[in-house]
Amino acid sequence: MTKMDEIFGCKVFNDTIMRERLPKDIYKKVMMTKMEGKPLTKEVADVVANVMKDWALEKGVTHFTHWFQPMTGITAEKHDSFIAPAGNDKVIMEFSGKELIKGEPDASSFPSGGLRSTFEARGYTAWDPTSNAFIKDGILCIPTIFCSYTGEALDKKTPLMRSMETINTQALRILRLLGHDEVTRVTTSVGAEQEYFLIDRKMAAKRKDIAFAGRTLFGAAPPKGQELEDHYFGVIRPRVVAYMKELDEELWKLGILAKTKHNEAAPAQHELAPIYATTNIATDHNQLTMEIMKKVAERHGMKCLLHEKPFEGVNGSGKHNNWSLSTDTGINLLNPGKNPEQNIVFITFLCAVIKAVDEYQDLLRVSVATAGNDHRLGANEAPPAIISIFLGDDITEMLEAVENDSTYFIKKKSTMDIGVEALPNFTKDTTDRNRTSPFAFTGNKFEFRMPGSSLSVSGPNFILNTAVAEVLKEFADELEGKEDFDQVLHRLLQRTIKEHKRIIFNGNNYSDEWLIEAEKRGLLNLKSAPDALPTFVDEKNIRLFTEHGIFTRQEMYSRLEILLENYCKVLNIEALTMLEMARQDIAPAVVAYLNEISSEVAGKKAVFAGACCAYEEAMIEKLSRLLGDMYVVTEKLDEDLTQAHAIGDRTECAKFYRDVVFAGMNSLREIVDSMEVYTAKEYWPMPTYSDLLFSI
Ligand code: ADP
Ligand code: MG
């Protein structure tokens, strides 16, 4: 056995373990549940629970938890031990099928958006057998969904699992029509590339903003930023190498296929990409990855920042959501193959994605709308807030040919002569290398680049799955039972391309011309979260989710409520943190420095006559003026917060935070950053951008 065989998946109750340890018939039933979503009986669950417990006990585990993903954005757990009294002062270790299948955590402290009144605070968690149980921090974790007692979804896993069912159903209808009777299941897969920052832990601990907000709220620009472009793919520092090695190993133990790692564009920024997996598993794995990233960083004396914009003036962090559809027979439905123009499966599914993205631009935008991501989208580093699709010239031309009934000649792909004899000429990649597109076709999958680094990928994926399922449904409704099937399909595809090609854009998404062009095409440009979020409950979107059984109308309103509330809360915490730092740390520091210069001036003046203190006096004047400005701005910010708290309507409240509170925060920051520039380093009460960004 190699070391990797020992490590990989050693903390996971996976298929191999189940095959080894479960009775054959039970194993088969569990697999049916995993593959086809067939429900499990209590008898089967009892056997599985017992075997799972024995496996965990062998590994020294004494507790279990239902592991779930409430609307807070992080994962939640409540630990119970296996212990049960056995009489005579003895205990036995027990774990029943009932405990495996269902838990009843107190749901009252998780956001429900008004779905649940406190007197019916109980929620329940239910085992998701499609995602393997695993051991984390000595606890057996059982992936579960989380619902209210009356069955409303209170988490991020439930809608995702529902969306996987609906896209399976609709995709199978299309595949039947196209003659693929052998396929019995279609799943979506996701590879989530994760960006993050690493900074020194001791330095981070000295900043309240990092502690409370996960990002810096003050900080003058350092002399050196990312302008030399010397970090991207650069040599990784030894401390970071050690971190990445341990991180990989921890992830491998959990069966997470961490694959690539490299430095990113900004100083102290890095990326980790896993090998893709089924959407549900990929989502669980990404949540775990974020958690493990933070934990391992602590062990290495570092802090891992997952915020979308930890530092102003430096690239923020995103999470690229690579998405595709594949069959249980191993076909990737988005793989164009050698002759895409003859690949009717590919063309049909491609057209479905194009139509879905065009019709549900608003929802895709909603899926990435958070206070943190607002700092990124539209800035010159991340995709703009306008949704469009990059297809590349080849595929675009192919679609034009379908639309216009012209023959498509696969152009001999231009080859790049790289000038070194020994290397073969390789085909020039026609996929999106300029990386400005928010939704790019990259060979055999789409890469959605708008999600922020801290986001759960559940949102983007249940929306994408459901939107595409809806279009596949419309296609199937139109095609089923038609005698002249080929003709009807042909016309359907032509019409789809004609009506939705406005969403295709292969150019530079960062250019000003695109803004104008996109507006001409009638594409949405929902610039901030408060603009985007309310579209979630537009009638067409409510229809989409209710018809596909993803949400009830009430669940949608409650989700919107939670999202808007979260936006307001984040800004509120940030503003309060800034006020505290400004008043309690920064003002006293500047006053102390002013004192020193003033006594210095007094001392000098006692000796010299005349203008001996030009610098000091200028500093006294400048810093005193800034202190005065700071007083005015902080008082105003305080009043604005009081006003914000009085606004009843959530959308209005969010807009007030964006337009008034956030503006006040920016004014305060500007003043404080100027103070930092003029204050002696030894007086400045916290590490600076130079300290933080170049601390590792
Ligand atoms: P890049 O940095 O060019 O965007 P990476 O190689 O870093 O590309 O990441 C590509 C991601 O896409 C990986 O996580 C990979 O596993 C994933 N991926 C590859 N094929 C598929 C697919 N068919 N479906 C979903 N994800 C995929
Ligand atoms: Mg990428």
Residue predicted with more confidence, 114 or 442: 442
How far apart CA 218 and CA 674 sit, in angstroms, is 10
pLDDT score of 233: 61
pLDDT at 520 over 60: yes
pLDDT tier at 419 (50, 70, 90 boundaries)? Answer: very low
What pLDDT score does 227 carry? 66
Atom of ligand 1 nearest to the CA of 190: 25
Pocket test for ligand 1, best of 445, 449, 461 (most atoms within 8 A of CB): 445
Question: Per DSSP, what are the bridge partners of residue 123?
Answer: 148
For residue 415, what pLDDT is reported?
40
530 lines ligand 1 (CB under 6 A): no
Enter the pTM of the model. Answer: 0.94
Looking at residue 121, its pLDDT comes to 64
Residue 457 C-alpha to ligand 1 middle, in angstroms?
A: 14
User: Quick one: which H or E segment has residue 304?
Assistant: strand 302-305
How far, in Å, is the centroid of ligand 2 from the Cα of 466? 23
Question: Is the pLDDT assigned to residue 426 strictly greater than 70?
Answer: no
626 or 33, greater pLDDT: 626
Distance 257 CA to ligand 1 centre (A): 12
256 lines ligand 1 (CB under 6 A): no
Share of the chain above pLDDT 90, in %: 76
- The pLDDT, as a whole number, for residue 114 is 72
Q: How crowded is residue 604: how many other Cβ atoms within 10 Å of its Cβ?
A: 12
Q: In angstroms, rounded to a whole number, what is the distance separating the alpha carbons of residues 494 and 360? A: 20
Regarding the beta carbon of 276 and ligand 1, being less than 6 Å apart is answered yes
- Nearest residue CA, atom 5 of ligand 1? 273
How far is residue 165 from each of residues 337, 465, 466, measured CA to CA in Å?
Answer: 27, 9, 9
Does 424 score more than 50 pLDDT?
no
The average pLDDT across 676-691 equals 96
Q: Measured from the CB, is residue 273 less than 6 Å from ligand 1?
A: yes
What is the predicted pLDDT for the residue at 353?
98
Residue 325's closest CA among 186, 192, 476?
Answer: 186
Q: Is 403 exposed, middle or buried (0-12, 13-18, 19+ CB in 10 A)?
A: middle
d(Cα 468, Cα 475) in Å, to the nearest integer?
11
Predicted pLDDT of residue 418: 38
Q: pLDDT band for position 218 (50/70/90)?
A: very high
Q: Which one-letter amino acid corresponds to residue 639?
A: E
Across the range 77-84, mean pLDDT stands at 87
Position 116 scores a pLDDT of 59
The amino acid present at 431, given as its one-letter code, is: T
The C-alpha atoms of residue 107 and residue 72 are separated, in whole angstroms, by 12
- Sign (positive/negative) of CA torsion 679, 683, 688, 694? positive
Which residue has the CA at smallest separation from atom 7 of ligand 1? 273
* CA separation for the pair 451, 586 (Å, rounded): 34
Ligand having the closest approach to the CA of 443:
1
β-strand pairing of 186-200 with 302-305: antiparallel
Ligand 1 in reach of 324 Cβ (< 6 A): yes
Q: Is 190 in the pocket of ligand 1 (CB under 6 A)?
A: yes
Asked if the model's pLDDT at residue 629 lies above 70, the reply is: yes
- Is there an atom of ligand 1 within 6 Å of 14 CB? no
Q: Quick one: average pLDDT of 27-51? A: 88
446-504 residue pLDDT tens: 999 999 999 999 999 999 999 999 999 999 999 999 999 999 999 999 999 999 999 99
Is the distance from the beta carbon of residue 445 to the nearest atom of ligand 1 less than 6 Å?
A: yes
In this predicted structure, what is the pLDDT of residue 409? 47
Residue 414 has pLDDT above 90, yes or no: no
Ligand 1 atom nearest residue 435's Cα: 4
Mean pLDDT, the chain, integer = 91
Mean pLDDT of 545-574: 96
Percent of the chain with pLDDT over 70: 93
* Residue 526: how many other CB atoms lie within 10 Å: 20
Q: What distance in angstroms lies between residue 666's CA and the mean position of ligand 1's atoms?
A: 37
* pLDDT for res 22: 96
The DSSP bridge partners found for residue 309 are: none
User: How close is the Cα of 322 to the center of ligand 1, in Å?
Assistant: 6
pLDDT in tens, 285-309: 999 999 999 999 999 999 999 999 9
* Buried-state track 266-282, b at ≥16 Cβ within 10 A, e below 16: bbbbbbbbbebbbbbbb
Compute the distance between CA of residue 145 and CA of residue 462 in angstroms, rounded to an integer.
Answer: 14
pLDDT exceeds 70 at position 7: yes
322 lines ligand 1 (CB under 6 A): yes
Cα 434 to Cα 383, 430, 443, 508, 510, distances in angstroms: 11, 11, 15, 8, 10
Q: What confidence tens digit (pLDDT) does each residue in 297-356 have?
A: 999 999 999 999 999 998 999 999 999 999 999 999 999 998 888 899 999 999 999 999
Q: What is the pLDDT of residue 342?
A: 86
Q: Which pLDDT score is estimated for 380?
A: 65
Q: With 0-12 CB in 10 A as exposed, 13-18 as middle and 19+ as buried, what is 78? A: middle
For residue 275 and ligand 1, the question of a CB distance below 6 A is answered with yes
The segment with the largest mean pLDDT, out of 11-20, 426-435, 602-611, is 11-20
Q: Which atom of ligand 1 is nearest to the CA of 275?
A: 16
pLDDT band, very low/low/confident/very high, at 381 (cuts 50, 70, 90): confident
302-305 and 102-103: which strand pairing? unpaired
278 CB within 6 A, ligand 1: no
Q: Which atom of ligand 1 is nearest to the CA of 335?
A: 23
- Residue 326 CA, closest ligand 1 atom number: 23
CB within 8 A of 9, min separation 6: which ones?
16, 252, 253, 254, 255
The neighbour count for residue 492, using CB atoms within 10 Å, is 17
Q: At residue 403, does pLDDT exceed 50?
A: yes
**Token pair of 330 as six digits:** 């191993």
What whole-number distance in Å separates Cα of residue 217 and Cα of residue 210?
Answer: 8
285 close to ligand 1 (CB < 6 Angstrom): no
Q: How confident is the model at residue 433 (pLDDT cuts 50, 70, 90)?
A: low
Question: Which ligand sits nearest to residue 318's alpha carbon?
Answer: 2
pLDDT class of 120 with cuts at 50, 70, 90: low
Ligand 2: distance of its center to the CA of 440 in Å?
Answer: 10
Confidence of residue 235 (pLDDT cuts 50, 70, 90): confident
The pLDDT value given to residue 110: 77
- Least confident range from 86-100, 557-571, 604-618: namely 604-618
d(CA 629, CA 668): 9
Pocket test residue of 232, 260, 269, 322 for ligand 1, highest count of atoms within 8 A of CB: 322
Say which amino acid occupies 272: L
Residue 33, pLDDT > 90, answer no
Pocket mutation for ligand 1, best pick of 276, 283, 332, 334 (most atoms within 8 Å of C-beta): 276
Q: Is the CB of 274 under 6 A from ligand 1?
A: yes
**Within 13 Å of residue 89, how many CA atoms lie on the same side as its CB?**
0
Given a cut of 70, whether residue 509 has pLDDT beyond it is yes
Statement: residue 260 has pLDDT above 80: no
Q: Which band of pLDDT confidence, cut at 50, 70 and 90, is reported for residue 365?
A: very high
Q: How far is the CA of 330 from the centre of ligand 1 (A)?
A: 17
Nearest atom of ligand 1 to the alpha carbon of 323:
25
Please identify, by atom number, the ligand 1 atom nearest to the C-alpha of residue 260. 7
Q: How confident is the model at residue 1 (pLDDT cuts 50, 70, 90)?
A: low
User: Region 231-256: what's the mean pLDDT?
Assistant: 88
Section 181-188 average pLDDT: 96
